[in-house]
Amino acid sequence: MNLSTSASLSSTSSSSSSSSWLSGIVRGRSGSLKMANNSSAPAAAGGDGGGPINKKNQLVGVMFKYGPKSIQVAFKTGDYKQQVIFIGGLTDGFLATQYMEPLASALEKEKWSLVQFLMSSSYSGYGTSSLKQDAMELDQLINYLINKEDSEGVVLLGHSTGCQDIVHYMRTNTACSRAVRAAILQAPVSDREYNATLPETASMIDLASKMISEGRGSELMPREANPDVPMTAYRYHSLCAYNGDDDLFSSDLSEDQLRQRLGHMSHTPCQIIFSMADEYVPEYVDKKALVERLCGAMGGAEKVEIEWGNHALSNRVQEAVQAIINFVKREGPKGWDDPWS
């Protein structure tokens, strides 16, 4: 994502670290690829209005550090005990999709905060990161919200490859993951199937496999594998190879394979928002059949099909916000009211 507008962020001190409902358990714990094609601006704070929107492309909120790395910065709009955490895809960072600003306003009305955050894989860092690293840093963010913001529970909202992060994180079953009250997967599509349409992919998968077998998985691939950012052999294989770590949503996976990858999500209320004109889904894929299979593998996730919607839903912003808000507002089964049940 190219940042087209410069804006300043004002940082205020976070709330005091009072005890919370989970603190007793977690205190002391620690291009060529599918990318967002969004024209957005970085978040900004300022003004004294009653909601999170100050001016166009500006959000009023709090910026804070949630981990030891310099990249581990988060931005929260709204000062509430329940948070929606947005997890972007490849190349994403702050204000990754055009529905971020209206979503922040809509959540404010429902007394929910929106948290956007940066991690090691944000912007150009995805080529040298992994789902495991993303999950560790997401866990640190939730830990911070529990111990510093007295969080009463979070909803995870993943976009694109951020959907893989959610699935991977929920499999870790860390103490903090018990604070996840629900999950929303917006545009859960296959990096592998998209990259298979590119002519250089097959030979580069062979090279990545060879490097991994030689113990060189952390070394960088040739520039032609991915001209946009440096990429390790491991990450290339994870994103592009059959049965790679990122290969969670491919249409050619069997029912058993999908259940093995997604079945653990059945313990969490889930919604899948699928764009029926997603430019990163090959034309041969039956989108309706795919989303049905994904929902089934997740134990009956709620399905939202957005006709003519593109990958980032930049052409269907209000529909995206409405679907998310309806799901967040709804009280339902499986522990929505009590994260411990």
Q: What is the pLDDT of residues 303-312, one digit of tens each?
A: 999 999 999 9
Alpha-carbon gap, residue 259 to 136, rounded angstroms: 24
CA distances from 81 to 21, 87, 150, 245, 321 (A): 11, 19, 6, 33, 20
Counting as low any pLDDT under 50, the low residues of the chain are 1-31, 38-49, 331-341
**Core vs surface per residue 304-341: b (16+ CB within 10 A) or e:** bebeebbbbbbebbebbbbbbbebbeeeeeebbeebee
Question: What pLDDT is attached to residue 58?
Answer: 80
Question: What pLDDT is attached to residue 341?
Answer: 46
Question: Which structural domains are found in the chain, ordered by start?
Answer: 30-45+54-190+254-329 (3.40.50.1820)
User: Which pTM value belongs to this model?
Assistant: 0.84
How does DSSP classify residue 164?
A: H
Task: Look at residue 21 and give its three-state secondary structure.
Answer: coil
